[in-house]
């Protein structure tokens, strides 16, 4: 059994080294940089993104987001920023906190347009502001937000450390940073099941129901290549974050990370 576990661990590490060596972008033949490609991709899939997400995650992502909200709410924030907000699901849920300022930021105008409609339908337009901007060049002053969240967005940063440094800059001392991101299960049979689902079923579902035939292949590849667990913890520490913790969710298919700033 020990030999099997060691072999599985070595295999997983080797697979990740191979994947991490590749630059993962949505459109491999495009001359646009990753940031521009991501914006184009999300603009294209914005109209059916929410419904397809529920199908792909079997609705479990709602439970994960609820945990993120609970972590933020416990700190009683006044100003909250949700980066890579997409159509605003997390920003809308953050309205249940006592925060007076809630900003949802995204690079995709298409996703934000869908989000604004949802916010208006819930009569939250006065409480939630949607901003189109680059997550690696945040248009906010230093030490501004009590809480910053990112759900399934950090893997789309063109320069991960630059984006995290911007988050660190705009977070208040003692503020909380919460990340919800995909990760890869390490134990049998969840590792094997996840690999089959993410590399085989997910792209097929995306091609059947999405206008963009390559979008969900990219989302699968980018999820597999993203550093997770202690590797991501160490990147957060390198930026300067403290009290870094990771909490694997649902057999390790996603992870919630928390960190703060001195």
Q: Where are the domains of the chain?
A: 33-184+226-260
Sign of CA dihedral 147, 229, 49, 189: negative
**Is residue 185 scored above 90 in pLDDT?**
no
Mean pLDDT of 44-60: 68
165, 233 Cβ separation under 8 angstroms: no
161, 241 Cβ separation under 8 angstroms: no
**Percent of the chain scoring above 90 in pLDDT:** 56
At residue 207, the pLDDT reads 67
Which of 246, 193, 250 has its CA nearest to residue 64? 250
- C-alpha–C-alpha distance, residues 11 and 239, integer Å: 29
Mean pLDDT of 22-43: 74
At residue 52, the pLDDT reads 64
**Is residue 4 scored above 70 in pLDDT?**
no
Using pLDDT thresholds of 50, 70 and 90, give the confidence band for residue 33.
confident
At residue 12, the pLDDT reads 38
Using pLDDT thresholds of 50, 70 and 90, give the confidence band for residue 5.
very low
User: For 196, left (φ over 0), alpha (ψ -120 to 50), or beta?
Assistant: alpha
Mean pLDDT of 220-243: 90
At residue 19, the pLDDT reads 35
Model-level pTM?
0.81
CATH no. of 33-184+226-260: 3.40.50.150
* Tokens of residue 54, six digits: 């529920």
**Is residue 59 scored above 60 in pLDDT?**
yes
Q: Which residues pair with 256 in a beta bridge?
A: 180, 247
210, 48 Cβ separation under 8 angstroms: yes
């Amino acid at each position: 059994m020990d030999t099997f576990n060691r072999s599985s661990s070595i295999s997983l590490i080797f697979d990740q080294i191979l994947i991490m060596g590749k630059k993962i972008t949505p459109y491999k033949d495009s001359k646009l940089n990753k940031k521009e490609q991501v914006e184009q991709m999300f603009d294209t899939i914005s109209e059916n993104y929410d419904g397809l997400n529920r199908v792909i995650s079997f609705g479990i992502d709602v439970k994960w987001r609820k945990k993120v909200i609970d972590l933020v709410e416990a700190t009683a924030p006044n100003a909250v920023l949700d980066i890579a907000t997409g159509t605003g699901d997390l920003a809308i849920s953050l309205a249940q906190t006592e925060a007076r300022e809630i900003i949802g930021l995204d690079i995709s105008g298409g996703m934000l347009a869908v989000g604004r409609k949802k916010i208006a339908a819930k009569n939250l337009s006065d409480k939630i502001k949607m901003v189109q901007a680059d997550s690696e060049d945040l248009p906010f002053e230093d030490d501004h937000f009590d809480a910053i969240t990112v759900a399934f967005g950090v893997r789309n940063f063109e320069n991960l450390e630059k984006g995290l440094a911007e988050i660190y800059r705009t977070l208040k001392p003692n503020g909380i940073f919460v990340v919800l991101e995909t990760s890869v299960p390490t134990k049998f049979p969840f590792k094997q099941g996840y690999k089959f689902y993410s590399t085989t079923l997910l792209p097929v579902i995306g091609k059947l129901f999405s206008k963009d035939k390559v979008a969900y292949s990219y989302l699968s590849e980018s999820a597999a290549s993203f550093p997770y667990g202690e590797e991501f913890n160490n990147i957060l520490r390198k930026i300067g974050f403290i009290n870094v913790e990771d909490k694997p969710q649902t057999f390790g298919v996603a992870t919630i990370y928390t960190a703060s700033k001195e």
